[in-house]
Amino acid sequence: MTSCQVWSELEELNVDDVEEEFNNRLANIAINQCCCLVYTSGTVGNPKGVMLSHDNFTWDSYAIGKRLHQIRYAEEVLVSFLPLSHVAAQMVDIFLTLQFACTVYFADKDAMKGTLLTTLQEAKPTRMLAVPRVYEKIQEKMLAIGAQSGAAKKLVAGWAKSVTLQHHLDAMEGKPTNSWQYRLVKNYILSKVKDALGFNRCLTLATAAAPMDRETKKYFMSLDLPIMEAFGMSETSGAHSLTAPDSYNFDTIGKPLGGCETKIDKPDERGHGEICMRGRHVLMGYIGEVGKTQDAVDDEGWMHSGDVGYLDEAGFMYITGRIKELIITAGGENIPPVHVENLVKNELPYVSNAFLVGDKRKFLTMLITLKTQMNLDTGAPKDELTPETIIALKELGVEYSKLSEIHAAGPCPKVLKAIQEGIDRANQKAISNAQKIQKFALLKSDFSVPGGELGPTLKIKRNVVAEKNKDIIEKFYA
């Protein structure tokens, strides 16, 4: 293998000629000096350069490792595929790896375009970090494969997932578990699923960078693959909190890592307010932006996250929205968009993105995109619909293979009717009338990184989507 060097060869290298330079550099590094600049995602404004120190990274990586279940020094295997410009990837793929001597497989550059599974099967990671959209894509693929199975296989798969989900739900409530049905399913059915995904020795699946829908968490739990949720930001070196297997529920983002402090600033009558964080993981400041640093970190060292949430009596953290993303209607109703968007996506599995609109407006509206295939070379959405979307449309009594065909048909009344019915079902679960969606539009292409609507970790850039579709939005309220 000419493209790599084994560790034993590195150990045998003669380093006498560089040892003095190495020691000089080491002596000139202080723990409170800037180690790295990480730029924020810019989902609601211009990116800012976050200065993180050597101590920020080494301390937070150690705290994360201590929270992970039974972490083993020099035995863990990770797969690096998220952009290393993102703080989550840097923390896990570089600093956590150095801290605990992990083995890292670097995935193909097209991992996010469909080759990730091949790397997972080869590497068989013991720990896995991904953004929610990656897990959603795995779920979609699994469901599409399951839909093509025969009746008997569907029956067995449904029973196996039901048994496994109930096992974990019982464990969450402290009930006796580990039934013979669960042991049978785990050893003879789900072991094959895990092996196919490359997760047969994975002890921790974690998600970060954006909220994960509870239905996705339930799906993976039914495969005996509970997903832990991490919360943090570039300004806190990555993680501030992380759920754990022995204290799990679908809604919390876990307890703060050891040594991290949390407070709720200006809580309302329900105890909900802005989540603030303090500890050795908090940034040095924003490079060249003293004013914004002072806005973010107060005189007592509390980092103001911009996220709205609360702490329960046991110390678990919960996020209910983001201050800058909250939709405040003309009637003064505060609406967290992600919650409403997930309600719609759960009702309409062939919908890729549901984008809520309504800030300073009299009512809510929504932009809808359908799931289409991706150009593996560019990452741009193609006109061709995904197989699961085609199957779903056939069940509506229409046969389309391209998104343009749906729009050429009017857009197709049957498709619009099905989307409206899904939105109506979602509206029935709305907390108030103000949170019900009144109108929607079907867009002519899905959101993507090349299109500018998604950031490198696939989070929606709300300001970009609103600007690109401003004419459609204005027609909602004309």
The dihedral of CA 464, 468, 469, 471: what is its sign? positive
- Residue 287 burial by Cβ neighbours in a 10 Å radius (0-12, 13-18, 19+): middle
The model's pLDDT over 67-108, given as tens digits with 9 standing for 90+, comes to 998 899 999 999 999 989 899 999 999 999 999 999 999 998
Task: Report the CATH number of the 68-225 domain.
Answer: 3.40.50
For residue 119, the SS3 value is helix
User: Is residue 64's pLDDT more than 90?
Assistant: yes
d(CA 186, CA 164) in angstroms, rounded, equals 8
Residues 6+ apart with CB under 8 A from 467: none
The model's pLDDT over 121-131, given as tens digits with 9 standing for 90+, comes to 999 999 999 99
d(CA 231, CA 240) in angstroms, rounded, equals 6
Q: Which has more confidence, 45 or 100?
A: 100
The answer for 267, left when phi > 0, alpha when psi is -120 to 50, beta otherwise, is: beta
Task: Report the CATH number of the 327-477 domain.
Answer: 3.30.300.30
Report the pLDDT value the prediction gives residue 1, as an integer from 0 to 100. Answer: 43
The model's pLDDT over 7-33, given as tens digits with 9 standing for 90+, comes to 788 888 888 888 889 899 989 999 999
Among candidate residues 225, 223, 226, 246, the one with its CA nearest the CA of residue 162: 223
Supply the pTM of this predicted model.
0.80
The model's pLDDT over 373-421, given as tens digits with 9 standing for 90+, comes to 988 788 899 999 998 899 999 999 999 999 999 999 999 999 999 999 9
- Cβ–Cβ under 8 Å, residues 288 and 308: no
For residue 355, the SS3 value is strand
d(CA 125, CA 120) in angstroms, rounded, equals 7
Report the pLDDT value the prediction gives residue 2, as an integer from 0 to 100. Answer: 52
The model's pLDDT over 179-195, given as tens digits with 9 standing for 90+, comes to 899 999 999 999 999 99
User: Is residue 442's pLDDT more than 90?
Assistant: yes
At residue 44 the predicted structure's pLDDT band, cuts being 50, 70 and 90, is: low
The model's pLDDT over 139-166, given as tens digits with 9 standing for 90+, comes to 988 988 888 888 999 999 999 999 999 9
Sketch the domain layout of the chain as residue ranges.
68-225, 327-477
User: Is residue 48's pLDDT more than 50?
Assistant: yes
